[in-house]
Structure 1
Amino acid sequence: MTPVAAVVIPAHNEEAVLGRTLDRLLAGAAPGEFDVVVVANACADGTAEVARRAGARVVETAVPGKAHALRLGDAECRAFPRVYLDADVELSAASVRSLAAALAGPGMMAAAPAPDWELAGAGPVARRVHRVHDRLIGPRRALAGVGAYALNERGHARVFPMPDVVADDELVHRNFAPAERAVVTEARSLVRPARTVRAHLRRRVRVRQGNRQLTELGFAAPDGRLGLGALAALVRRRSVSPLDAACYLAVLLADKALARRGTRVSWATDASSR
């Protein structure tokens, strides 16, 4: 059958988690319904073997870097729309179909699922930080930070070939006006965020670096910022507790201190969420 969508999964040393990602994706799919391409980039483990056993097509490269892997996988795809999925994020076949249906709507070019956060194993402070963060950004959910996004053919032409950027999902978000992109609530991604404060801060440093890079490349940041007023409103509505808010503020201050110091991190798998 002709695939109804393609799925590109860049994977760097993801042997431990890739199997469950592919199992979830393919469990409810008809044979040949999705064209799944896994790009094993600079792997020193059995990532490629796991992908082949699951029935995915595999591209191997010794060159590290997510954007490079996305370009390689994209070049192998046989269908539109195309879903770009992180190797440690689970997305069901039904969710891929929902993204494809949304991208068939008038004017739509980009879409993303809504996230479900798996906090099992996270420390108490990390749990509180993630809880507050989710409540803060929920009403203004973007295409970034949920582990997956999808492009139809017109949207793809705007993004690819993807430049060498750190924040590929934020690049996609910034490329489209609100009327051209959608968060599809019927589609759900299962995301395992950082389990420790240290790992969360490393991710935040990476996010800041990625956003700064995009701004320097001429991709304007979205309008509007979340301030203390939004956090105070959550506490007043009892959406989060005062202790939740205090933990969030403490970690936010540490995040800003690292940003002022210009701390840099290299690209790597976050083992805390595996």
Structure 2
Amino acid sequence: MNDAADEHVPPKSGRADGRQPIASVVVPAHNEEAVIAGGLRRLLAGTVPGEFDVVVVANACSDRTAEVARQAGVRVVETPVPGKANALRLGDGTCRTFPRVYLDADVELGAASVRALVAAAERPGVLACAPVPVWDLDGVGWVARRMHKVHDQLIAPFRALAGVGVYVLTERGHARVFPLPDVISDDGWAHGGFAPHERVVVTGAQSLVRPARTISAHLNRRVRVRLGNRQLAELGRSAAEGRLRLSSLGTLVARRKVSPLDAGCYLTVLLMDRALTRMRASRGGQVAWGADTGSRSQAGG
């Protein structure tokens, strides 16, 4: 790797009792000043100093992400090269132990959940695991709220490692995922590297995920999802969510898991998404995408 990276190691990086950290945690962060402090505060609350080996990779940041992360007492790697996959590779290269937790900077994960994930990773045959997502719908519009409710129900059977902002790899599992290629959907790439019996969803662990607050922001995110899924298919890995069918939506309504109004909101957004997809394709098919900052808030206070 040719890009320059600068690592900051806090003075107290080991455990007070001399033992190894129970897990390494890699947090890729691009201009995440608004949320990084709250996320790290929640991650480290109630831990023994050095219990987790945490490295934040500030990639191509123009804000105070790196400074704020250093103030939290974790290791920081800075690189001028943008891109999440590159940040994950840099952070992974500095990790001190297994299992390894790959955590999105705008997703919150508590120490108890990390411990539950570590325990799950120690089970025979388990190579990768992820928590159950909890959706923070504060500030989300009522149409978007209903749409998210339906979408969550539809993708829940397929989700596993993808779409929850966190995944964990054992040492054996790590060899299936790294070296990580330059993919848009790193969690989709990780998910596709394991058979269903090798990856588990840990019900005792939860990640707090902030979905798009508006329909417009959701549609912008869908651009990235489609590009990521297309890329995975070209690399021989199918999308984690599979093919969602309208019959599945009918089943949810029939079983009263969602209301007809929920379903109507979801279908309306789906039709908008498909219309925009066709429109973009007719204009050349190449679309630009970036981070959705509309869901960012001062996480954790």
Q: 1:264 aligns with which of 287, 294, 299?
A: 287
Report how many residues are paired: 274
| Kept in 2: contact 1:194–1:270 (CA 8 A) | no
1:113 deviates by 0.5
- Counterpart residue number, 1:245: 263
- Counterpart residue number, 1:166: 184
Q: Check 1:65–1:222 CA distance in 2 against 1; reply closer, same or farther (3 A cut).
A: closer
Determine which structure has the larger helix proportion and give its number. 1
Unaligned stretches of 5+ residues in structure 2: 1-18
Unaligned stretches of 5+ residues in structure 1: none
TM-score when normalising by structure 1 = 0.96
Stretch of structure 1 that moved more, 131-140 or 12-21: 131-140
- Counterpart residue number, 1:149: 167
Q: Hey, what's the Cα distance between the residues in 2 that align with 1:42 and 1:234? A: 43
Q: 2:65 aligns with which of 47, 65, 70?
A: 47
- Counterpart residue number, 2:45: 27
Correspondences of 1:152-231 after superposition (within 5 Å): 152-221=170-239, 225-231=243-249
Q: Alignment RMSD, CA only? A: 1.4
| Kept in 2: contact 1:65–1:267 (CA 8 A) | no
What per-residue deviation string (whole Å, max 9, x for no partner) do you get for residues 43-93 of structure 1? 011000111011110000111000000000000100100000000100011
Structure (1 or 2) with the larger CA radius of gyration: 2
What per-residue deviation string (whole Å, max 9, x for no partner) do you get for residues 129-176 of structure 1? 101111222234321000000001001111111000000000000110
| Kept in 2: contact 1:12–1:269 (CA 8 A) | no
Stretch of structure 1 that moved more, 88-97 or 136-145: 136-145
| Kept in 2: contact 1:118–1:190 (CA 8 A) | yes
Stretch of structure 1 that moved more, 19-28 or 219-228: 219-228
The amino acid across from 1:241 in the alignment is: S
1:263 deviates by 5.6
| Kept in 1: contact 2:165–2:209 (CA 8 A) | yes
| Kept in 2: contact 1:202–1:265 (CA 8 A) | no
The residue matched to 1:143 in structure 2 has which SS?
coil
Q: 2:77 aligns with which of 39, 47, 59?
A: 59
The residue matched to 1:139 in structure 2 has which SS?
coil
1:214 deviates by 0.9
